[in-house]
């Protein structure tokens, strides 16, 4: 066991830690007495190392139990990330790693569970045990309800003399940007601390050299990464988060249709296919369901059918492109109501055309954490959808924005067509209530 030297007169004990020093901001993080602490705000100040150190602080106490989390297994295991750091410190010591459980066992009886949490199923893995330390690396990659849920697991028996600590580290950006900013910057209280740290707080890195490597990033991401700017806006963003309204109960009398962004790139799906089910009433559009997956040709046909069958759907809108003809022809045999629409202009022009409807407050997303999906398909996190579509055009992931702009522009064209007046259904109309 090592007692790590610190650059601060207040000594802090970190058994097993092999880092030679604890940098001052890391030290403040390790000494913080608050129940909840968020560390960082920018890239590189030593957040991951600080979390690993914090988890180790009480491993000499019998029954102490800690959990370290990343959103995905891959993120947990990459070089320099939590699992790798822990391994580099603990291998060859008297601590034992159980590969199957991904858990470190210490001679005291203490444990550190290394985990990932990307779905509701993963959450179940952590709903039984209790922990006195829960550490989240890159908190903005997690949805708020996962973070809040794990407070129920943060507890100890009376005789266990360790503090209860919820600890997180993060850069701005990511699906959780809004809730993390709200929680730690706007709703701070005496039990909740935001400890801001920048690259310059990590003497182990050369700040100028590191800043130079980040100069390749676009100005928005750079602003977030380098300066930990939580208020930075993506450049040229077409849609703003605050424009989206939310529905908790669908109004009656909706006219239903599906909007699809299919892919035609060959047999194995590499980019995402997105299907959305919309309900329209007057000028308002309600997103009812969405599926987003990488699918091959046959799977796409099944998906279109499954989405249509979720609910009686008289209209299914697809892009009328030459590459779409074979699948449309195939689908027509089994799915009624296919409507082919020639896209007007490029992707950017289409989303720009849809933007005023959204800015005017006519577009509603579900208030629920997840958006419904047809059976057999993963539901989408509502926060993730918002994150992806508000990054357009800087993001490479256009699929949902494409399906959405097609839906908004289609609904508008139907409203302005002579055979449809809001609320009425004519024989020629595609709509059906």
| Residues making contact with ligand ATP (CB under 6 A) | 19-23, 26, 40, 43-49, 80, 171, 202, 204-205
Indicate the residue among 15 and 40 with the shorter CB distance to ligand ATP.
40
103 φψ region: left (φ > 0), alpha (ψ -120 to 50), beta (else): beta
The whole-angstrom separation of Cα 384 and Cα 173 is 11
Choose between 225 and 239: whose C-beta lies nearer to ligand ATP: 225
Nearest approach, Cβ of 75 to ligand ATP (angstroms)?
Answer: 10
d(C-alpha 327, C-alpha 316), whole Å: 13
Query: Which one, 47 or 414, has the nearer CB to ligand ATP?
Result: 47
Question: Which of 48, 171, 300, 387 is close enough to bind Mg ion by CB under 5 A?
Answer: 48
Quick one: which segment of 45-53, 92-100, 282-290, 391-399 binds Mg ion (CB under 5 A)? Answer: 45-53
Signed CA dihedral, 154, 158, 159, 161: sign only: positive
Minimal CB distance to ligand ATP: which residue?
Answer: 46
Q: How far apart are CA 225 and CA 199, in angstroms?
A: 9
- What number of chain residues touch Mg ion (CB under 5 A)? 2
Residues 6+ apart with CB under 8 A from 350: 343, 344, 402, 405, 406, 409
How far apart are CB 191 and ligand ATP at their closest, in Å? Answer: 24
Residue 204 binding partner per list ligand ATP, Mg ion, none, with a CB distance cut-off of 5 to 8 Å that depends on partner kind: ligand ATP
Least Å distance between CB 49 and ligand ATP?
4
Q: Residue 173's binding partner, choosing from Mg ion, ligand ATP, none, with beta-carbon cut-off 5 to 8 A by kind?
A: none
Minimum separation from the CB atom of position 157 to ligand ATP (A): 32
Give the DSSP letter of residue 337. Answer: -
171 forms part of the interface with Mg ion (CB under 5 A):
no
Nearer to ligand ATP, 12 or 355 (CB): 12
Residues 119, 372: Cα–Cα separation, whole Å:
14
Q: Could you please report the per-residue DSSP string of 252-288?
A: SSPEEEEEEE---S-SS--SPEEEEEEEEETTEEEEE
How far is CA 227 from each of CA 59, 197, 200, 211, 395, rounded to the nearest angstrom? 34, 9, 10, 10, 21
Closest separation between CB of residue 159 and ligand ATP, Å? 33
Q: Which residue is nearest to Mg ion (CB)?
A: 48
Residue 315 CA neighbour count, 13 Å, CB half: 22
Q: 359 vs 67, 150, 233, 355, CA distance in Å?
A: 42, 35, 17, 6
Q: 11 vs 309, which CB is nearer to ligand ATP?
A: 11
Question: Minimal distance in Å, beta carbon 114 to ligand ATP?
Answer: 16
Nearer to Mg ion, 48 or 362 (CB): 48
Q: Which residues bind Mg ion (CB under 5 A)?
A: 47-48
């Amino acid at each position: 066991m090592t007692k790590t030297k610190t650059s601060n007169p207040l000594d802090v004990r970190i058994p097993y830690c092999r880092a030679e020093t604890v940098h001052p901001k890391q030290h403040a993080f390790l000494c913080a007495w608050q129940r909840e602490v968020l560390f960082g705000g920018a890239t590189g100040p030593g957040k991951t190392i600080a979390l690993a150190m914090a988890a180790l602080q009480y491993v000499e106490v019998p029954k102490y139990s800690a959990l370290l989390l990343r959103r995905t297994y891959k993120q947990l295991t990459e070089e320099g990330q939590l699992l790798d750091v822990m391994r580099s410190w603990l291998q060859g010591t008297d601590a034992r790693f159980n590969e199957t459980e991904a858990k470190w066992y210490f001679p005291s009886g203490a444990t550190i569970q290394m985990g990932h949490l990307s779905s509701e199923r993963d959450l179940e893995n952590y709903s039984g045990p209790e922990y006195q330390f829960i550490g989240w690396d890159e908190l903005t990659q997690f949805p708020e309800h996962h973070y809040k849920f794990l407070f129920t697991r943060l507890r100890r028996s009376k005789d266990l003399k360790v503090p209860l600590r919820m600890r997180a580290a993060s850069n701005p950006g990511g699906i959780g940007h809004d809730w993390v900013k709200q929680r730690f910057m706007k709703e701070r209280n005496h039990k909740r601390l935001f400890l801001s740290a920048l690259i310059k707080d990590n003497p182990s890195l050369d700040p100028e050299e590191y800043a130079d490597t980040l100069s390749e990033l676009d100005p928005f991401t750079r602003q977030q990464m380098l300066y930990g700017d939580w208020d930075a806006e993506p450049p040229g963003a077409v849609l703003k988060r605050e424009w989206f309204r939310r529905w908790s109960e669908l109004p009656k009398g909706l006219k239903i249709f599906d909007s699809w962004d299919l892919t035609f790139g060959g047999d194995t799906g590499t980019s995402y296919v997105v299907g959305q089910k919309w309900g329209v009433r007057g000028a308002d559009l309600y997103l009812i369901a969405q599926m987003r997956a990488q699918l091959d040709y046959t799977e796409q046909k099944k998906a279109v059918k499954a989405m249509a069958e979720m609910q009686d759907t008289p209209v299914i809108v697809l892009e009328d492109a030459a590459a779409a003809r074979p699948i449309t022809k195939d689908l027509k045999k089994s799915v009624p109501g296919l409507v082919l629409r020639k896209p007007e202009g490029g992707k950017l022009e289409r989303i720009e055309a849809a933007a005023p409807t959204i800015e005017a407050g006519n577009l509603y997303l579900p208030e629920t954490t997840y958006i419904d999906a047809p059976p057999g398909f993963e539901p989408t996190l509502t926060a993730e959808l918002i994150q992806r579509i508000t990054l357009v055009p800087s993001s490479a992931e256009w699929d949902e924005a494409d399906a959405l702009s097609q839906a908004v522009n289609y609904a508008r064209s139907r409203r302005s067509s002579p055979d449809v007046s809001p609320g009425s259904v004519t024989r020629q109309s595609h709509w059906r209530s």
